[in-house]
Chains A and B, each alone.
Chain A
Amino acid sequence: MASLNPPFQGALFPYTVLDLSEGGHNICGRLLGDMGANVIRIEPPKGSQTRLRGPFALDSDGSPKSLYWAAYNSNKKGISLALDTEAGRQVFLKLVDQSDAILESFQPKYLDSLNIGYETLIDRNPQLVHTTMTPFGPTGPYAGFVSTDLISSAMGGMPFISGDEDRPPVRISFPQAELVAGSQAFGATVAALRHSRNYKIGQHVDVSEQISVMWTLMNATPFPKLHGTDVTRTGAFRKRGPIDARHVFKCADGYVSMNAQAKTLKGLLAWISEEIEVEKEILEFDMDEWELKPDSDPHGKDATEFKRVEKTIESFLSKKTKHKIFGKALEAKLLLAPCNTVEDIRKSPQLEARSFWLDIYHPEFSRNITHLGPYMKMSETPLKIFFPSPSIGGDNEEIFKDIGLSLAQIEKLEKEEVI
């Protein structure tokens, strides 16, 4: 496949990676590709199940194509291969011989059942990094459990502490468990690749969605052992000593989030009093001296003062727009930021100034698709989008020729529906 950019050596240029993973795990190979690795996405001849995952956009024929696929599979070459056929496995093993890593998210033991599991692969290629992304890990009592984003998130503890107190726990409305596992897999795979190059030894990298979700719980996990309590969900509020302090406020066109630190409260009151009259008493509260500890009186002087300040802020912000509020936050350095929708994000001048949006021509849509820019800026080896996500088997000929198959052999595999 013709790349849109001239050859360029990214940080991971020497590495070839076979990506058999699905769904959000695809972010792992995407990031490796962004850093210059040669990533080959292997999907079944009928197409990857990730292509069925929304959101979708219409292609030039008016049929829906997955943006999920497009987002997490750019910078990958695409080949099709039926691993459940003997001929397919022989081709796969040839690919493994010439690769540095494989990424996969099959049920534990699935590749073993096809005789192409870890032991077989590492035997053929002792320097291979074999990264598995599974819901709960490859062994143990839950290894065989069936999961989805909701299940892995729930077992990893995030919903229990998210959502409103008076309703059931909630998940984030865009699946995260596979993505956080994929990002852990990225870090671990890069580290294992470098080690393999330096010491000529491959290894198994085990990433579990449950543990990856647990690593997003901030400070929650030690509470039972240290305080004898569980952190519970408090919705738009955060515990601040004896009171529930609001951290999400309604504004004229949506919501904003605030850390109720004294400096921010003072800055906000200063802004408010520029525009409307604020009770003199409130302006004279000594916020730095407030003592709001778990055992403080929830109806005591400090708690009552806090609630009065919060009420003043709540009523003022309800009439201002997100844009106006964030403008003030930037100017006065307040811990106050908009709860952006995807629409707001698209308008950010900061992202514009950092050239975060990249319009890339995508053959499957026959038009430019706006992609998110590089995850980070690296001065010597900038991340790039070299090419958009592949079509099914789009790079078959190039890749299969590379491993020594003749055109006749490739045609035969096609006819047998192996590729």
Chain B
Amino acid sequence: MAERTQNILFNGLKVLDFTWVGVGPITTKYLADHGADVIKIESVSKPDVLRGAPPFKDGIPGINRSQFSGNYNSNKRNLGLNLAIPQSRQLIRNLISKWKPDVIAESFTPRVMKSWELDYVSIKKLLPDVIYFSTCLMGQFGPHNNYAGYGQLAGAMAGFYEITGWPDRGPAGPYGAYSDFLNPPVAFGSIVAALDYRDRHGRGQHIDLSQYEGAMHFLSPHIMKYNEDGSILERKGNEDDEMYPHGIYRCLDHKRSLTDITESWIAIAIRTEAQWLDFAKLLNLSKETSDQNLKERKSDRDRIDHLITAWTSRDESRSIMNLLQSHKIPSGMVQSQSDMWEDPQLEHQGFFQWLRHTEVGPMPYDGLQFQLSETPGKLTRAQAMVGEDNKEILTEILSMGSSEVQTLLNEGVLEQSF
């Protein structure tokens, strides 16, 4: 038993999870994937919005079919509770008093939990040493604190749109809700740091993560630079100040086995003069060209890019990558998702995994964000349906019988999506 315990990172840790969409669920997922008991509170009337977004099982929409939300909610139990009903809020308070979660997490705008009297100040009266994690777009206080939005908007506000795309065109933005994926690892670390402090001092605390502020830490040198001399970082395609060639070049089209796409690209980044000479030799470039230094190459870029493309477009990206890497030249396939499903490195790491969803069967999951040698995380359970664990949770924690649970279901206090 002792052996077993020390191999589970968050053995015995209890987490009550009111979060939805991106940042919150991914943050609590780290805890769930490493052994914590995470109970997610969700309703059918207002489910996690990502349940309504693709990709879906067999491409068919449905509340139990989305892998967008699935990927962020592995290994969690689900209590289907409609918090708009006062009786539900009493039930959750009873559950909190009885179960005594170590961590409570929520990702609404600041007014929501307060309106339900489930905010930190209210919960602290029930659980003085709780770690209460709050995250929203703009932070718990300040003139814009109740501004709600998605990570696409926080990504734009934090500066990532302006610096992604081509200088002669408007911003394209990185794909998706970028800030939603920068914040969770740091949020996770802050919760564990707070637990560590509580282990030693017996005191809980409130964590306030503004997703807007967090995202800016991934751009901070340039924000500091503006403070120094007013210069503004602009989008520059794939250019790099310190390297050339540095770009993405077209390769020979080829059909993938999983999808119909055919376009194929290689990323090449020449970091040193030695790499440039090796590269120039492979491409059979003239002596005048291979003798050029970084500055000369940069001013001759159109011609050199043309020569590179003429060379790369003769073969598929995988062969070019393998050839260049065998000469220690930094290069890599510009992988589509179907390429990543066939990536031998990810295969070696056992990255992608399949978990069986109770209703719709096997679903494809992204693997863990990191590997711990002695306390490895493990994906064991697919995303639960809304209310899938109602009976188990209420029996276990509040000693309710089947008929009591059924009554709450009939009254609309409890909900389930099946």
B247/A168 in contact, CB under 8 A: yes
Measured CA separation A342–B234 after assembly (Å): 9
Q: Closest approach, in angstroms, between the C-beta of A188 and any C-beta of chain B?
A: 4
Contact of A339 among B70, B161, B230 (CB under 8 A): B161
A319 within 8 A of B: no
Q: Closest approach, in angstroms, between the C-beta of A39 and any C-beta of chain B?
A: 14
B217 within 8 A of A: yes
A346 within 8 A of B: yes
B389 proximity list for chain A (CB < 8 A): none
Encoded as 1 (CB less than 8 Å from any A CB) or 0, chain B from 184 to 226 comes to: 1111111011111101100111111110111011111111111
| Contact count band on A | 35 or more
Contact of A226 among B58, B163, B208 (CB under 8 A): B58
Contact of B57 among A214, A226, A230 (CB under 8 A): A226
A95 within 8 A of B: no
Q: Closest approach, in angstroms, between the C-beta of A309 and any C-beta of chain B?
A: 19
A247/B152 in contact, CB under 8 A: yes
B232/A341 in contact, CB under 8 A: yes
Encoded as 1 (CB less than 8 Å from any A CB) or 0, chain B from 367 to 392 comes to: 10111111100000000000000000
Question: Known contacts A173-B163, A206-B371; is A376 also within 8 Å of B224 by CB?
Answer: no
Encoded as 1 (CB less than 8 Å from any B CB) or 0, chain A from 243 to 263 comes to: 000011010001111010000
Question: Known contacts A71-B221, A180-B182, A191-B192; is A141 also within 8 Å of B344 by CB?
Answer: yes
Measured CA separation A318–B366 after assembly (Å): 40
B226/A233 in contact, CB under 8 A: no
A219/B68 in contact, CB under 8 A: yes
Measured CA separation A369–B224 after assembly (Å): 8
B170/A205 in contact, CB under 8 A: no
B143/A255 in contact, CB under 8 A: no
B152/A257 in contact, CB under 8 A: yes
Encoded as 1 (CB less than 8 Å from any A CB) or 0, chain B from 337 to 349 comes to: 1111101111011
A231 proximity list for chain B (CB < 8 A): 175, 337
B163/A376 in contact, CB under 8 A: no
Give the nearest-CB partner of B142 in chain A: A353
Encoded as 1 (CB less than 8 Å from any B CB) or 0, chain A from 263 to 292 comes to: 000000000000000000000000000000
B340/A158 in contact, CB under 8 A: no
B192/A215 in contact, CB under 8 A: no
Measured CA separation A68–B220 after assembly (Å): 8
B330/A147 in contact, CB under 8 A: yes
B71/A170 in contact, CB under 8 A: no
Question: Known contacts A168-B250, A255-B171; is A379 also within 8 Å of B205 by CB?
Answer: yes
A186 within 8 A of B: yes
Which chain A residues in 54-74 approach chain B with CB under 8 Å? 54-57, 67-68, 70-72
Which chain B residues in 59-85 approach chain A with CB under 8 Å? 59, 67-68, 70-71
Encoded as 1 (CB less than 8 Å from any A CB) or 0, chain B from 152 to 168 comes to: 11101111111111100
Measured CA separation A152–B330 after assembly (Å): 10
B311 within 8 A of A: no
Measured CA separation A413–B101 after assembly (Å): 53
A218/B181 in contact, CB under 8 A: yes
Looking at the complex, which of B255-263, B279-287, B290-298 is the stretch in contact with chain A?
Answer: B255-263
A149 proximity list for chain B (CB < 8 A): 269
B139 proximity list for chain A (CB < 8 A): 350, 354, 377
In the A-B complex, the 7 residue pairs with the smallest Cβ-Cβ separation, listed nearest first, are: A218-B176, A140-B348, A154-B267, A380-B205, A203-B374, A187-B189, A339-B161
Question: Given contacts A197-B199, A218-B177, A227-B56, could you give 7 more A-B pairs where the C-beta distance is less than 8 Å?
Answer: A217-B337, A218-B175, A337-B154, A354-B139, A378-B194, A378-B205, A379-B208
Selected A-B contacts with CB under 8 Å, 23 pairs: A31-B186, A55-B231, A150-B246, A150-B269, A154-B265, A155-B267, A161-B175, A167-B237, A172-B163, A173-B233, A183-B186, A185-B370, A197-B199, A204-B373, A222-B55, A222-B67, A223-B54, A349-B143, A350-B143, A369-B227, A376-B213, A376-B214, A379-B206
